[in-house]
Structure formats: structure tokens, C-alpha cells
A and B are shown apart, each in its own frame.
Chain A
Amino acid sequence: MRQLCLDTVYELAKKDPRIFFIGSDLGVGTLQKFKQEMPERFFMEGVNEANIIGMAAGLALEGKIVYVNTIATFLSRRCFEQIVLDLCLHNVNVRLIANGGGLVYAPLGPTHLAIDDIGILRTIPRMTIVAPADEAEMARLVPQTVDYPGPIYIRLGKGNEPILTTDDVPFQIGKAIPMRSGTDALIVTTGVTLKAALDAAASLSKQGLEASVLHVHTVKPLDAQAILDHAADVSVIVTIEEHTLMGGLGSAVAELVAEANFNPAKRFKRIGIPDVFPEQYGSQESLMERYDITADKLVAVVASLVEQRREPLQAMAT
């Protein structure tokens, strides 16, 4: 996903002299062709992320479109104030390409996990946050970032995710994509947990429960209308994300649903990382298992909530 993203930036830069690239201290050979062919627009600045964000803001204030790439958490955590003030307050066209969103860097421990990035950045006015589910979607996203107004945070998955998205529905930043329809439950997901959501919906279908799956690739601005439209038809809503339960997609959906004055019997549950620093290493997959961010858990939660929802209705009927 990262390689495709950077390669696309390179292709776009060849055609658009406004496009600049700034990396921190990325792997040797990163964007070598960009560096060779457009050295005046390629910068590798070292481990000074706060300075890089300000520098990108300065270039963008001069009309440039600046793509910045480093590890996700060194953007969202370390550069929070630079993102708020230099990028969002000035409303500049800087695109943050964030390596390893979520649990990708599991073997490297809690210093490298970006499990709070969406929650941190969602508080900032003018911020756009996009988490593509696969490379095909990344390929559709990156060209749209060139002329999209204001700062954008692009949350990258680990790579080699199965291709689940299609261009049946035109990709548009800020527009959620319905991936499956059903009237028993709504599953809302962002980024790579789309696979768990679709797998869970398939399993539920075998049990006789039909779930809608809404892929919210853009967590901010949130496609509130799509979420509310889908939520209106079901009695159960479950969110799943590779992110802490506080402040991410689940929180955003909860805020919407709570204020939508739905029938209080509607059931709602978030699946994500609890309020802990992950204490294990292992792999992205093992930590996802550890925190139940899986299709199996999703199936169990949805089925259980549908059952709970039926009970009072049945009680009322008798």
C-alpha cells in the first residue's frame, strides 16, 4: 500500500510541478526515481518531523502541494501541534502519508503503534482523515488528493491486503461506500478491517442474519448522511476498527447515533483496542486477535445484539 501510494505520488509529480515530497529518514532507495528526476522537489530531511511539517506548510503557503511521509505515530503524536497550527490553522495543502496505521508495527512495540492517530487528528478543524482498505482504493485516492483543499492524513495499512474494493461506486473523499446490504444489522468499518467486516457479514448470512457493511474510508469529514441512512433501517449497529475505542470511528458513529434520536431499543457496540498500551509484540494479526478485532468476534457481537434486540420485542408481543 505504501509503495503504491509513493509510486502514485511520483507519477503525479512528473505531470504537476506543484508537487513536492518530504521524507524524514526513510528506507534507503525510497522514491529513488523521484530524487533522480526531480531533485529540486525531493527532500529527505532526517529525524526532525516537527520541522518537516513547518517546512511543508511554508512550501504549501507558496502554492505547492506537499506530500510528507514518515511513520504514522511520529506524525500524529510527535507533530500534533505542528499539524494543528502549521497545517490546519493555515489550511494548507499538505498530505501526510502515515506508515503503519494501527497495529502494523506490532513487533516494534508501543512506541511505534499508531492506535490513537484517528482520535488525535479527528479533533482538529479542517483535517481530512482517510484510511483506504486496499491498494486498489489507494490508487483511486491518491490522484484525488492533488487538488483536494486543506490538509489530509492518509493512513497506510501494512500492505498486501486482499483487494476488496471495486470501482462500482466512484471513490470520493468524504463519501462512505456501501459494500453489502442487509436489514438485520449495520457494520461500519474503516481501513483494513473491511475484510473482517465482509467476512463477518458472509458468516452471519449463513446464520440467516443479513448485515449491511459500510466502508467509511474517510473518517473526517464523516459521511454522516450515509451512516444515518444505513443505521435507520437496522436494529443493531456495530463498528470495527484497528484503533483504540476512544475517539476513532466507533466514537464518531456513536456520537452520530446518540444524537439521532433513534428508538432506544437500537443496539450499538464498538469493536477496537481497549484503553491499554498493548503489552505484547508478535504481529499485527496476533494483536488483532488479542483485542478481538476479528470477523469471528464481529459475528458473535452482531448475533448477540440481534438476539438481545429480539427479546424485548418478543416479550412485548406476548
Chain B
Amino acid sequence: MVAETLKTNSSGLDSRSREIRKTVVKILEASRRGHVGSTFSLIEILRVLYDDVLRYEPKNPKWSERDRCILSKGHGCLALYAILAEKGFFPEAELWKFCQSDGILGGHPEYGKVPGIEASTGSLGHGLSIGIGFALNARYEKANYRTFVILGDGESNEGSVWEAAMCAGKHKLSNLTVMVDYNKHQSYGTTYEVQDLEPLADKWRAFGFAATEVDGHSVEELRSVLLNLPLQSNKPTAIICHTVKGKGIPFAENNLKWHHKNKVSDQEIESMLAALEEN
């Protein structure tokens, strides 16, 4: 199976990917909780988007020409928070108040509270429809901004994802890109066991998308596809990003106990930081 092959070929992490992960571990050290596995599979997707692809102004987060990015799998928000803080959307100090009563960063990202968050997500299956609204508005206004929606694989069990996919295909929204963080694991088990999505790329094609598959931890592969959008001039794009849940922390990789983690111990924090040094 393509997915399994790509998983084992994931490239090693460079220093930037390790640094972002260390920031996430420091957030965990402060909060002792979070969707660890779902966050670490997502780092390179967000890193490449925010380093190389998206147009935005951190001090003017409502800039009308900015590209819109929705993290529809909102539970991966630790990765997004780490990157948004680094880019200057909000002070780094907010990171250490994750999930606390005096903080703005909750366990799922909230529109209106967090600069740079385009839509409140967390309940799965909402982001793509909202993104379609953004993309249709760009078409109506003849604006050049683009819309990116990041979906989870477990999220893709939701019927509303496929309602939205049908709609985006119908409208030939070439200014819309879907990225699926396909780490092959959901909460209870593998996607193959719980609700198999295969053939996933072909599903998106059948719904009217131009689809491709990349190693979701390969910065080069992600850049290569994201800097050449759309894949086809008259279709929305779907990029299936083959990833590893918990990527970068060997004891958390593909380990369902790390999907969501409570009461993260000092020992676990130390082990995670050590793993990121060695990787």
C-alpha cells in the first residue's frame, strides 16, 4: 500500500522542525495536556505553509489580501499556536497559558480570541464548508487570496466533509486547497480498522478535485506542491499528506495512548526533549 511505503520513507527532521516540536513540548510542560500525536503529525504541513506559502501580516491579521488557512482538525492546534506565536500573531507568553482560564489559547482554536485563527474548529467536519464560503467570496470580489483547509483523516469520516467536497468540486474552486493530515490513526485505532478511507486520493478526484499525494514530513515535497498551486486550473486541489502520528517522538509515534494526553509527567517531558535532540 502506498501509505505504508511512504510512512517508512519519511525524511529525518531538520533543526527547524525539531525546534517547533520543542516549543510544543514546552507548551505541554506548562499545560500537561494536549493532542500530542495529532499535533506532531502536522508540524511540517503548517511549517511549510507559514514559512513559504501563505501571505499574511501578523500585526494586521485581518489584512484583506491575506491567504486564509483553517485548521479544520482543530485538535492539532498546539502546532498552529507554536507557529503563530513565533510569527508574531500574539505574544509567546500566551503559549504557556494553554487551556488556562486567563489564556486565549484553548484546546481547540477559537475565532475572535486568537489573532490568525480564521474559524473556530474542534468539532470535526466544519472547516471545509467555511473555507468554501471564503473561496466563493474571493471569486465574487475578484480577490487574489487563497484558502487552505487542513483536515484530519479521522475527521474525514464526517459526512459533512464530503458534502463540502461535492460543493467545492461543483464550483471548481481552484483557489481552494485541502490538505489531509493522513497519519492513519484515529482515537480508537488505525483508520484502516475504524473507518477505512481508501482509496482516499481517488475519492477526492471523484468529488471533482485535482489530487496528489506527498510525504507530509518532507519539507521539499510539501514546498514543491504548495508553490505550484492549483494542480489544475479549473479544480480545487487536494493534497494527501502521508504522515506519522506523533512524528519525532519515537515512543509516541503511532501510539494511540498519545492521541490525547493528560497529566504529562516530568519524565515524559524530559524524554520528549531528549528524543528531539537525538532525532
Q: Which residues of A pack against B, CB within 8 Å?
A: 40-41, 43, 45-46, 48, 50-64, 81-82, 85-86, 89-91
Contacts and interface: CB of A to CB of B under 8 A. Distances in A.
B181 to A, nearest CB: 20
Nearest to A66: B133
B128 interface: yes
B219 interface: no
Interface stretch (B158-166, B183-191, B249-257): B158-166
Query: Among the interface residues B123, B128, B163, which one has the most CB atoms of the partner chain A within 10 A?
Result: B163
A90 B112 contact: yes
A40 B119 contact: no
B129 interface: yes
7 contacts: A50-B125, A50-B129, A50-B159, A51-B129, A59-B133, A61-B111, A90-B111
A55 B119 CA distance: 12
A57 B123 contact: no
B126 A82 contact: yes
B136 A55 contact: yes
A89 to B, nearest CB: 5
B131 interface: yes
Contacts of A41: 140
Contacts, number: 90
Contacts of B30: none
Interface footprint category on B: 20 to 34
B119 A90 contact: yes
Contact of A60 (B129, B132, B133, B163): B133
Given A53-B129, A54-B130, A90-B119, A62 B164 contact: no
A58 B133 contact: yes
A224 B126 CA distance: 35
Contact of B123 (A45, A46, A81): A81
Contacts of A61: 111, 118-119, 130, 133-134
B31 interface: no
B3 interface: no
B120 interface: yes
A51 B137 contact: no
Interface string B119-151: 110010110111111111101110000000000
